Structures are given as C-alpha cells and as structure tokens.
Structure 1
C-alpha cells in the first residue's frame, strides 16, 4: 500500500480509501468483515456522509473500537449554520467518536449553494466552530463541477477537495487538481468505477492511482471487493501504462458530462449515467451493475424519442451548462436493447 502526506494536514493516508456509501445495502456482519479486513490490510482512510443512510452508524458499530487506526472523513449536506451543526453532532454520535478528522461541505454544485454555505450563518461557519471546539480537525469541499471547485478552493479556505476522477471522467486534471496542488490541499478522487460502469476493475482503479491524488475512494461492500481493489494498486504505474491509461481516458471522456445533475428529464431518464456510460459501453461493455441500470431504465430510454415536448427543443439540453447533445445520446442508447 502506498502512503502519502495528505496535503498540509500532516497525516499519512493510504492510496486506497474505503468508501462506505453502499454499506447500508448489505448485512451488518458483511460490512463489519469488510471494514475490519480493510484496516487489517493497511487502508486507513474511511469515507462516509450523513446522507448515506445509516452508513455512519455502521462505522460506529463496526470499527469505533479501532478509532486510532483510521482517518475519518464524513460530510454535511446542510447549507445553514444551525442544521449543519446539528448534523455534525449527530455524526459524532453515530460514529461513536469525539472527533471527525475531515468534515466536508457536501455536494456543492452551484454558485448559489456555495454562497449559502459560505455566508455568515452558513455551514462553513458551523464547521469552523466545531474545529475550534476540537470536534473537527480539517474542513473540505465536495462537488461535481471541477471548474467551479477550482475557483472555490483558490482562496485557501479548505484543507481538502473531493472530486470525480476515473477513465470516463478525467476533467479534474484540467484546473482542479493543479489548483489543489498549489493550495497544498488533500486531493481525494472518488468513483473510480463511475458507479459501476467501468471495467475491468483493475484498469479502472489504476487510472486515478496514476494521477496526482493522495487517496482514491472506492465503494466496497465485501472482503472480496477490498482484496480486488488492493490488488489493483499493488504495483506502481509505469510511464508506458500511464500513457495508455491517459489515452483511454481521452477516448472514454469524450461524452464531456461532469455529472453535475443540472439536467432533469420529465420522463425520468437518468441522463448523466447514460452520457458517462455511452463511451464505456462501446469500448468495453458494461459491468453487471451497469447492465442492471440499463434494464431498469429501458422503458424510459425507449420513450425518449416519442416524448413530444422534447422533440424540437429537448428540455434537458436547455439546462446543461456544457451544451451537450443529451437527447441524441439517450436515443442512441436505445440500440443497447437490440
């Protein structure tokens, strides 16, 4: 396991982080085994959020007795001081700890949300107060708009930033990672498999591992998945492999979707998933989870072409800050069904 100093925090963190978002979907004993095996194997970065159902409670139940062995990161999705303070206090309770190593302002994707979180009575002030009280060590920011995140971190108010980085979403490399490096911040990459679309896992994990990040968070739910992820990082990435991975990321990222979720579909098509998986599907095919997504979305995808209000001017495309051809890609996805 590779370890690096996490920005200017002084903490040494493992290159692979345990993403606990999906633990609420498995039996408690399976979650317990996965978390403890991860710690046994040297993973020392645990990532969760107040919004991840009872994920924080699972962490408290399963590994709080090993609290000194891991760097604990959680998140508040609240934007105002009072609600954020209450959520952080609940998080401490649920995880059976008196200190959160990293508290992140969660899922900030619009200028309005950022302003609300940063104003005098905003969530950021609550995080600062918890830091003064000794219940939070560092403050971070997460979101899906890398170019906006790059601007928001430039004033030096955050210790860490969390962002997408995978073979189908390499966009953080342009502005965000260089700015975070200039600010000497902790750099945490998430969704190396893009929610279960990118295969093979070994290649997917090695792409963010090859880039200038400290930790790659992978959502793991079993001992076998922990083993698979650790194995993918066992060898360092050489120059030839790095060039191969970067060329592949250029190809798979051609959809240009950042998963900012500004778009919404009146018939319920999950547009970002289709946009991001479109290139992956053509090149590698889909993992079982990705195939399951397409089967669940089948009726909606097939209905897109006939939805009258969108025929001349698709509603989703009017909301997209990147002006992407969403309806065209969704209609092409209909070919997936034969």
Structure 2
C-alpha cells in the first residue's frame, strides 16, 4: 500500500496490562494513582523547598530541579490516561492525542537522559577537579546547559512523530501498552516498518548509551580519585556526595539496559511482564527520587527540617493567639 495519510483509524485503544483479570483492575488503578500522587507530592515538595531556600541555589540542586520537573511532566503525560482506563473504562485515545503523547514520552525520556549526564558531569568536576569546579560549573553554566538539554532533546522525538504520523493505519488500532510510544504505534501501520523503526532504534541507542558512556567514565574517574585520598573519612565524605546521584542513575539505566540486553540475547517476556518492567523503570524512579534527595543530600535534609520547624512554630503561635 502506498504511504500517505490514508488511515482509516481515528482512535487507538490502550490495553494497559492485557492479561489483567477484571477483579484486579480497581487494585491496579489504585496503585497507579498512589504512585502518581506520591510522585507529584514528592517532587512538588522538592520544588517548593528549592524555591523558598536560597541556600540550595547551587549547581547540583539546579540539576535536581530539572529532574523533578521532568519527572512531574512524564508522570502526568503517562499515568492519568491509564488510570482513567481502569476507573472510568476509558481506554481510547484519539489519533492525534496518541502522537502527542508519544512525542512527550520520548522527549521527556531524552531530557531525563541528558539531565543525568549533567548530574554525572557535576560530580566528576566536584571530585576530580574541585579547584576548577566553581569556575567551570556555576549557576549560569548549569542554566545554559539545562536550557540546551531541553531544547536539543525535542529534535529526535519530533522527527519520529513527523515520519510516523502520515503512515497508513488501516488495520488494528489496539496498542498493547499503557501509553503511546513509537514501537506500539508504528507496528500497527500497513507498511514496512523497517525504514521507520531502525532510525528510531538508533536514536534510542544514542540517547541512552551516549550519556551512559560518559557516566561510566566519570564514575570510574571518581572512584580512582577517591582511592587516592589517604584519609578514610575523606574517602567516605567524597563518596557520600556522589551516592544520591549514583543511585538515581542506576535506577534509570540498569532496568533499561537489562531489557535491551535480554531482547538481544534471545530472552523473551510475555506482554504483561514486558509492560510491567517498562512501567516499573519508567514510573518508580520519579516516585523514589525525592526520597533519595531527602535521605542522602544533607543540605536538602536540613532545609526540610527547617521548613517543618518553622511551620510548627507558626502553628503553635497561631493556636496561642486563638486561645488568648
């Protein structure tokens, strides 16, 4: 069939978890809503603390600010629709809306990868080049790099949408996923997918493995630099400054690398298992990241403690004023 906008499909149907028994749908939707609520609450709290405490206006926390924003947007792009499928039996999504969702899924994933690259760069310069760190990576530099990441990241996903949107979709309109992505949509096209799938795969590999290569290099350099520190306490302190970022990076990359490697060595998963794995590595890090910031970043812990203490004092003063 010739290519062109000959689609007879006007909407797509998201299956969510295909093998999920109806009696568990309410439970799953409640879990997804709980994940969304915790993600929004945790990241909004971090943004609020950052906005109200100027002591946190440092390069590392500006990077965390970008990551929080990206996590909020990604969760808002993906979760409400699949929650509404199970709560309100509304699993359909319009043709155009599906492509819009696909763009934001891949765009925000790309931004996330670039932000993790900046996170590794921040720790690399802080540990390996501490004297040059204030000059090379100040707030202005981070602002420029962050804006660049958000602007540059749109190019690949936008091209994927532009190439996939005009394809003829004249067969099934069922997407076996919880949200629209490039693979889920293009396999439904009534044409050869290879000319569209291969460039998208290359883009995904460059976006994933490019930053990952630098991250691995930077942390190898960090470990070597830390081992050269004679003082044991100095080693522990240096490693502790890197631990929050390292945990976040591992949460993002390890499951993705596992899925890609498994598919290349012939390990296959059922549709439900594959979707569960994808949803876990897509949605768990945004929910867990704020907890990591609070537990592992000393400045963030202190700022939160001050916020709670200030609010407790204000509440006590308000109660005293009412009683008087």
Normalised to the residue count of structure 1, the TM-score between the two structures is 0.25
Structure with the higher fraction of residues in helix conformation? 2
Q: Which has the higher contact order (CA 8 A, sep 6+)?
A: 2
Normalised to the residue count of structure 2, the TM-score between the two structures is 0.26
Structure with the higher fraction of residues in strand conformation? 1
